[in-house]
Amino acid sequence: QVQLVQSGAEVKKPGSSVKVSCKASGGTFSSDALSWVRQAPGQGLEWMGGIIPIFGTPDYAQKFQGRVKITADESTTTAYLELSSLRYEDTAVYFCARDQKGFDFWGQGTLVTVSS
Amino acid sequence: EIVLTQSPGTLSLSPGERATLSCRASQTVSSNYLAWYQQKPGQAPRLLIYGASGRATGIPDRFSGSGSGTDFTLTISRLEPEDFAVYYCQQYGTSLYTFGQGTKLEIK
Protein backbone atom coordinates (compact mmCIF):
# COMPACT_ATOMS: atom_id res chain seq x y z
CA GLN A 1 0.00 0.00 0.00
CA VAL A 2 1.39 3.36 -1.02
CA GLN A 3 1.65 5.99 1.71
CA LEU A 4 2.49 9.66 1.23
CA VAL A 5 3.31 11.61 4.39
CA GLN A 6 3.74 15.36 4.14
CA SER A 7 5.53 17.84 6.35
CA GLY A 8 3.69 20.03 8.81
CA ALA A 9 1.89 23.34 8.54
CA GLU A 10 3.86 26.49 7.75
CA VAL A 11 3.32 30.20 8.32
CA LYS A 12 5.29 32.43 5.98
CA LYS A 13 5.62 36.13 5.30
CA PRO A 14 4.85 37.64 1.90
CA GLY A 15 7.87 37.52 -0.39
CA SER A 16 9.45 34.56 1.34
CA SER A 17 9.68 30.92 0.20
CA VAL A 18 8.30 27.66 1.50
CA LYS A 19 9.44 24.08 0.96
CA VAL A 20 7.00 21.22 1.56
CA SER A 21 8.09 17.59 1.63
CA CYS A 22 6.27 14.37 0.73
CA LYS A 23 7.76 11.10 1.99
CA ALA A 24 6.65 8.08 -0.07
CA SER A 25 6.59 4.44 0.94
CA GLY A 26 5.13 1.22 -0.42
CA GLY A 27 5.47 2.02 -4.09
CA THR A 28 8.22 2.23 -6.69
CA PHE A 29 9.37 5.76 -5.98
CA SER A 30 11.85 6.19 -8.81
CA SER A 31 9.38 5.33 -11.57
CA ASP A 32 6.15 6.59 -9.96
CA ALA A 33 5.07 9.97 -11.22
CA LEU A 34 4.19 12.38 -8.45
CA SER A 35 2.25 15.63 -8.65
CA TRP A 36 1.53 18.60 -6.42
CA VAL A 37 -1.98 20.03 -6.17
CA ARG A 38 -3.14 22.95 -4.07
CA GLN A 39 -6.50 24.09 -2.76
CA ALA A 40 -7.11 27.59 -1.49
CA PRO A 41 -9.74 27.99 1.26
CA GLY A 42 -13.18 27.24 -0.13
CA GLN A 43 -11.82 26.84 -3.64
CA GLY A 44 -11.20 24.03 -6.11
CA LEU A 45 -8.19 21.88 -6.92
CA GLU A 46 -5.28 23.36 -8.84
CA TRP A 47 -2.51 21.25 -10.38
CA MET A 48 0.90 22.87 -9.89
CA GLY A 49 3.31 20.43 -11.45
CA GLY A 50 4.74 16.95 -11.40
CA ILE A 51 7.87 14.84 -11.66
CA ILE A 52 9.01 11.30 -12.37
CA PRO A 53 12.04 10.91 -10.07
CA ILE A 54 14.01 8.62 -12.38
CA PHE A 55 13.82 11.21 -15.15
CA GLY A 56 14.16 14.21 -12.88
CA THR A 57 12.72 16.83 -15.23
CA PRO A 58 9.53 18.32 -13.82
CA ASP A 59 6.55 19.81 -15.63
CA TYR A 60 4.97 22.96 -14.22
CA ALA A 61 1.62 24.62 -14.73
CA GLN A 62 2.11 27.84 -16.66
CA LYS A 63 0.66 29.87 -13.80
CA PHE A 64 3.54 28.91 -11.49
CA GLN A 65 6.42 28.96 -13.96
CA GLY A 66 9.37 30.84 -12.47
CA ARG A 67 8.10 30.56 -8.87
CA VAL A 68 7.87 26.82 -8.33
CA LYS A 69 10.46 24.09 -8.09
CA ILE A 70 9.67 20.39 -7.75
CA THR A 71 12.44 17.96 -6.90
CA ALA A 72 12.76 14.35 -5.80
CA ASP A 73 15.41 12.56 -3.75
CA GLU A 74 15.49 8.87 -4.67
CA SER A 75 17.76 8.02 -1.72
CA THR A 76 15.09 9.11 0.78
CA THR A 77 12.01 8.54 -1.45
CA THR A 78 10.96 12.11 -0.74
CA ALA A 79 9.59 14.70 -3.12
CA TYR A 80 9.67 18.42 -2.50
CA LEU A 81 7.69 21.46 -3.57
CA GLU A 82 9.30 24.84 -3.23
CA LEU A 83 7.27 27.98 -3.89
CA SER A 84 8.96 31.37 -3.83
CA SER A 85 7.85 35.01 -3.77
CA LEU A 86 4.86 34.04 -1.66
CA ARG A 87 1.71 36.15 -1.84
CA TYR A 88 -1.35 36.20 0.41
CA GLU A 89 -3.25 34.27 -2.29
CA ASP A 90 -0.80 31.37 -1.97
CA THR A 91 -2.48 30.51 1.32
CA ALA A 92 -3.76 27.02 0.66
CA VAL A 93 -3.52 23.34 1.48
CA TYR A 94 -0.84 21.71 -0.64
CA PHE A 95 -1.21 18.02 -1.53
CA CYS A 96 1.17 15.57 -3.11
CA ALA A 97 -0.34 12.69 -5.05
CA ARG A 98 0.91 9.63 -6.88
CA ASP A 99 0.09 9.87 -10.55
CA GLN A 100 -0.79 6.47 -11.95
CA LYS A 101 -3.93 6.36 -14.10
CA GLY A 102 -5.17 9.35 -12.19
CA PHE A 103 -4.03 10.42 -8.75
CA ASP A 104 -4.64 7.22 -6.84
CA PHE A 105 -2.86 8.00 -3.55
CA TRP A 106 -2.70 11.36 -1.80
CA GLY A 107 -0.78 12.88 1.05
CA GLN A 108 -2.68 14.31 4.00
CA GLY A 109 -2.09 17.88 2.88
CA THR A 110 0.05 20.71 4.25
CA LEU A 111 -1.49 24.05 5.16
CA VAL A 112 0.67 26.98 4.12
CA THR A 113 -0.48 30.32 5.48
CA VAL A 114 0.96 33.53 4.09
CA SER A 115 0.57 36.29 6.62
CA SER A 116 2.45 39.40 7.65
CA GLU B 1 -3.90 24.35 -21.63
CA ILE B 2 -7.10 22.34 -21.70
CA VAL B 3 -9.93 24.04 -19.81
CA LEU B 4 -12.48 21.75 -18.16
CA THR B 5 -15.96 23.10 -17.45
CA GLN B 6 -18.17 21.17 -15.06
CA SER B 7 -21.94 21.45 -14.84
CA PRO B 8 -24.01 22.01 -12.93
CA GLY B 9 -22.19 23.98 -10.27
CA THR B 10 -24.51 22.59 -7.61
CA LEU B 11 -26.81 19.58 -7.84
CA SER B 12 -29.54 19.07 -5.25
CA LEU B 13 -30.89 15.52 -5.05
CA SER B 14 -32.28 13.06 -2.53
CA PRO B 15 -30.80 9.73 -1.43
CA GLY B 16 -31.85 6.99 -3.82
CA GLU B 17 -31.96 9.30 -6.83
CA ARG B 18 -29.65 9.20 -9.83
CA ALA B 19 -26.97 11.87 -10.27
CA THR B 20 -25.50 12.93 -13.59
CA LEU B 21 -22.47 15.22 -13.59
CA SER B 22 -20.93 16.70 -16.72
CA CYS B 23 -17.38 17.69 -17.66
CA ARG B 24 -16.67 19.40 -20.97
CA ALA B 25 -13.14 19.98 -22.29
CA SER B 26 -12.02 22.91 -24.45
CA GLN B 27 -10.22 20.46 -26.73
CA THR B 28 -10.02 16.70 -27.19
CA VAL B 29 -8.66 14.84 -24.19
CA SER B 30 -5.96 12.57 -25.52
CA SER B 31 -6.63 8.84 -25.07
CA ASN B 32 -9.64 9.79 -22.93
CA TYR B 33 -7.29 10.39 -20.01
CA LEU B 34 -10.04 11.84 -17.85
CA ALA B 35 -10.41 11.15 -14.13
CA TRP B 36 -13.11 11.90 -11.56
CA TYR B 37 -12.55 12.58 -7.86
CA GLN B 38 -14.76 12.92 -4.82
CA GLN B 39 -13.80 15.28 -2.02
CA LYS B 40 -15.36 15.69 1.40
CA PRO B 41 -14.62 18.60 3.75
CA GLY B 42 -11.22 18.39 5.40
CA GLN B 43 -10.16 15.38 3.36
CA ALA B 44 -7.90 14.74 0.40
CA PRO B 45 -9.69 13.92 -2.85
CA ARG B 46 -10.43 10.27 -3.63
CA LEU B 47 -10.00 8.83 -7.13
CA LEU B 48 -13.24 7.36 -8.46
CA ILE B 49 -12.78 6.94 -12.21
CA TYR B 50 -9.73 6.92 -14.49
CA GLY B 51 -9.46 6.68 -18.25
CA ALA B 52 -13.00 8.10 -18.51
CA SER B 53 -14.68 4.82 -17.53
CA GLY B 54 -12.33 2.69 -15.41
CA ARG B 55 -13.43 2.33 -11.81
CA ALA B 56 -10.63 2.78 -9.27
CA THR B 57 -9.88 0.15 -6.66
CA GLY B 58 -12.57 -0.18 -4.01
CA ILE B 59 -15.07 2.16 -5.69
CA PRO B 60 -18.67 0.90 -5.56
CA ASP B 61 -20.28 -0.01 -8.85
CA ARG B 62 -22.98 2.65 -8.44
CA PHE B 63 -20.29 5.05 -9.73
CA SER B 64 -19.72 4.95 -13.48
CA GLY B 65 -17.96 7.15 -16.00
CA SER B 66 -18.60 7.59 -19.69
CA GLY B 67 -17.77 9.83 -22.61
CA SER B 68 -14.95 10.53 -25.01
CA GLY B 69 -13.29 13.35 -26.87
CA THR B 70 -14.53 16.51 -25.17
CA ASP B 71 -17.65 15.38 -23.30
CA PHE B 72 -17.59 13.22 -20.19
CA THR B 73 -20.13 12.17 -17.60
CA LEU B 74 -20.01 10.78 -14.07
CA THR B 75 -23.15 8.92 -13.07
CA ILE B 76 -24.08 7.80 -9.58
CA SER B 77 -26.89 5.34 -10.11
CA ARG B 78 -28.51 5.46 -6.68
CA LEU B 79 -27.29 8.06 -4.20
CA GLU B 80 -26.23 6.98 -0.75
CA PRO B 81 -25.93 9.51 2.11
CA GLU B 82 -22.13 9.31 1.96
CA ASP B 83 -22.09 10.37 -1.72
CA PHE B 84 -22.93 14.00 -0.98
CA ALA B 85 -19.66 15.80 -1.59
CA VAL B 86 -17.81 17.85 -4.22
CA TYR B 87 -16.78 16.13 -7.45
CA TYR B 88 -13.94 17.17 -9.74
CA CYS B 89 -12.91 16.03 -13.19
CA GLN B 90 -9.27 16.15 -14.28
CA GLN B 91 -7.53 15.60 -17.60
CA TYR B 92 -4.09 14.03 -17.76
CA GLY B 93 -3.83 13.60 -21.53
CA THR B 94 -1.17 16.25 -21.88
CA SER B 95 1.90 16.91 -19.76
CA LEU B 96 0.07 19.88 -18.23
CA TYR B 97 -2.84 18.59 -16.21
CA THR B 98 -5.97 20.57 -15.36
CA PHE B 99 -8.99 20.20 -13.09
CA GLY B 100 -12.54 21.31 -13.55
CA GLN B 101 -13.98 23.80 -11.05
CA GLY B 102 -16.08 21.17 -9.30
CA THR B 103 -19.73 20.19 -8.83
CA LYS B 104 -21.22 20.25 -5.35
CA LEU B 105 -23.70 17.44 -4.80
CA GLU B 106 -25.98 18.42 -1.92
CA ILE B 107 -28.90 16.81 -0.17
CA LYS B 108 -32.26 18.16 -1.28
CA distance B10 to B13: 10
Interchain CB distance below 8 Å, A103 and B56: no
pLDDT of A30: 87
Label residue B16 by pLDDT band (50, 70, 90): very high
Is the confidence at residue A66, as pLDDT, over 90? yes
B-chain residues near A106 (CB < 8 A):
44-46
Label residue A27 by pLDDT band (50, 70, 90): confident
Test the B interface: residue of A4, A46, A47, A100 with most B CBs within 10 Å: A47
pLDDT of B74: 98
CA distance A31 to B54: 22
pLDDT of B47: 98
Label residue B105 by pLDDT band (50, 70, 90): very high
Is the confidence at residue A31, as pLDDT, over 90? no
Percent above pLDDT 70 for chain A = 100
Closest CA to B4 of B31, B29, B37: B29
Angle at B30 between CA A49 and CA A52, to 5 degrees: 30
Percent above pLDDT 90 for chain A = 91
- Given phi > 0 = left and psi -120 to 50 = alpha, else beta, which region is A96? beta
Is the confidence at residue A5, as pLDDT, over 90? yes
CA nearest to A101 within chain B: B50
Is the CB of residue A5 less than 8 Å from the CB of residue A96?
no
H or E element: which one contains B4?
strand B4-7
Residues 78-97 on A with a CB inside 8 Å of B are 95, 97
Label residue A56 by pLDDT band (50, 70, 90): confident
Test the B interface: residue of A4, A37, A63, A64 with most B CBs within 10 Å: A37
Is the confidence at residue B23, as pLDDT, over 90? yes
CA distance B48 to B60: 9
B-chain residues near A47 (CB < 8 A):
90, 96-99
Instruction: Provide the sign of the torsion angle of the four alpha carbons A79, A44, B8, B12, taken in this order.
Output: positive
pLDDT tens digits, one per residue of B37-92: 999 999 999 999 999 999 999 999 999 999 999 999 999 999 999 999 999 999 99
A-chain residues near B97 (CB < 8 A):
35, 47, 50, 61
Q: Does B37 touch chain A (CB under 8 A)?
A: yes
Interchain CB distance below 8 Å, B98 and A47: yes
Q: Could you give phi then psi for residue A109, rounded to 5 degrees? A: 95, 145
